[in-house]
Structure 1
Amino acid sequence: MKYSAVITDIEGTTSRISFVTDILFPYAARELPAFIRANTVQPDVAAALAACRELMQQPAASTELIITQLLAWIAEDKKITPLKALQGMVWQHGYQSGAFTGHLYADAATQLQHWHSLGIKLYVYSSGSVQAQQLLFQYSDYGDLTPLFNGYFDTRIGAKRDISSYAAILQQLQLPPKQVLFLSDVVAELDAARALGIATVQLIRESQPAADHPIAHSFDQIPEQIP
């Protein structure tokens, strides 16, 4: 591997899309209302609810109205920061109680461990909250893999299809673009990263069409250097 850092997406890249859609989202939809009602005065929950009111443009929205809106956002798979934060809080209980473990493809777990052993810095960039990212890797099918990672990025740094998000990440990494590799299954995200000179590989895990990025069907097929 010729890169100093690898940034990886989660859904469709390290993990099955269906893990999120069939396990995590239904669990959050089922457990979120009771969690919010029981924790409205907790600082993190209160801050997320305040952010929801701002997004709804309803500063006096009741807790029940916010819950209704959150469930609608979950159904629509909205990439909304306070929703992702609340989902992460609920998923923490699910992971800790053993309701599920974080799905990882075996090739992803193996290759991430290999790259870490080579001294390559590993980062995650996902629309899920940083807490949700950490939980998935902490309670993964292959044990706690959080020691492999140097950092995590979520929508607080920007939308994943915006070039400015990758510029902000590069500024934090303090690395030239050519030394950074970004892995995702979503072409628009790869396009945004490549616009800054970041190397890209599209993971083709399921039936999504390939674009004009280098492709790999598993992590062990990722080339060590992009021409």
Structure 2
Amino acid sequence: MSVRLVLTDIEGTTSAIAFVKETLFPYAERALDGFLAERAGEPEVAAILDDVRALAPGQDPAVTLRGWMERDEKVTPLKTLQGLIWRQGFAGGEVVGHLWPDVTPCLRAWRAAGVRLAVFSSGSVAAQRLLFGHSVAGDLTPLFDGFFDTRTGAKREAASYAAIAAALGERPGDVLFLSDVAEELDAARAAGMATCQLVRAADGTAESGRHPACSIFPDVATRFGLPMPDEPARDAA
């Protein structure tokens, strides 16, 4: 196949699972009460809290949010609020977006060769832009043509991937989806996309056997006929 667009997940694919679980999530938990106390009256935050109340009537939104955080629920208002909280951390330099060192050189090489790039993550679009905009490799957001989150649909439903391809004006058959989660890859394949599972030893990902598997992005390039990077991989903290 000829890949016209690479659609990538973030956690476990471009970035360490530990970064999200050990840096981003705890930061949002610590900052939640102060953030709500200061900004609950702002229209953007007030709209999120209204959505929380609609999903959990009669309960304090802060209690609902903490429960969702503890269970890592993929709920859109939570993900949107986390994105706003993380924006504070990134803007203040308290948080820097982790990327595996093999990722950035490949993204740049693919984009330079005319391959389009997009992101589909359960984290909000705002959070995605923050991670790539304040990454260890600098601001990478100009490389991407689109960012998609759960507002597009669930990551384990084929319709979500069809919708992303349509939004970007591409045929699903010309799109390669990268993720560490086999069930997400199943859904993308059902929509007609090519798939590749990222199996990174540091994250303990188990190879499913249902999809082509690679451990680093240069392996993806070799397997799917994408350009190889000229620049060396940079260290990722």
CA distance in 2, matches of 1:170, 1:2: 15
> Percent sequence identity over matched residues?
49
Q: TM-score, normalised by structure 1?
A: 0.94
CA distance in 2, matches of 1:81, 1:130: 10
CA distance in 1, matches of 2:95, 2:148: 23
The yes-or-no answer on 1:33 pairing with 2:30 is no
Q: CA deviation at 1:94?
A: 0.3
Q: Which residue is equivalent to 1:46?
A: 46
The yes-or-no answer on 1:96 pairing with 2:96 is no
CA distance in 2, matches of 1:194, 1:8: 14
CA distance in 1, matches of 2:111, 2:169: 18
Q: How does 1:1-227 map to 2 (within 5 A)?
A: 2-58=2-58, 61=59, 65-205=60-200, 206-211=203-208, 212-222=210-220, 223-225=223-225
2:162·2:172 contact (CA, 8 Å) conserved in 1?
no
Residues 94-137 of structure 1 deviation map (CA, whole Å, 9 limit, x = unaligned): 01111120000111111111111011110000000000000000
Gapped runs of 5+ residues in structure 1? none
Q: CA deviation at 1:11?
A: 0.1
Q: TM-score, normalised by structure 2?
A: 0.90
Q: Secondary structure at the match of 2:151?
A: helix
CA distance in 1, matches of 2:116, 2:140: 14
CA distance in 2, matches of 1:125, 1:75: 23
Q: CA deviation at 1:173?
A: 1.8
Aligned length: 221
Letter in 2 for 1:119: G
Gapped runs of 5+ residues in structure 2? 227-237
- RMSD over aligned Cα atoms: 1.3
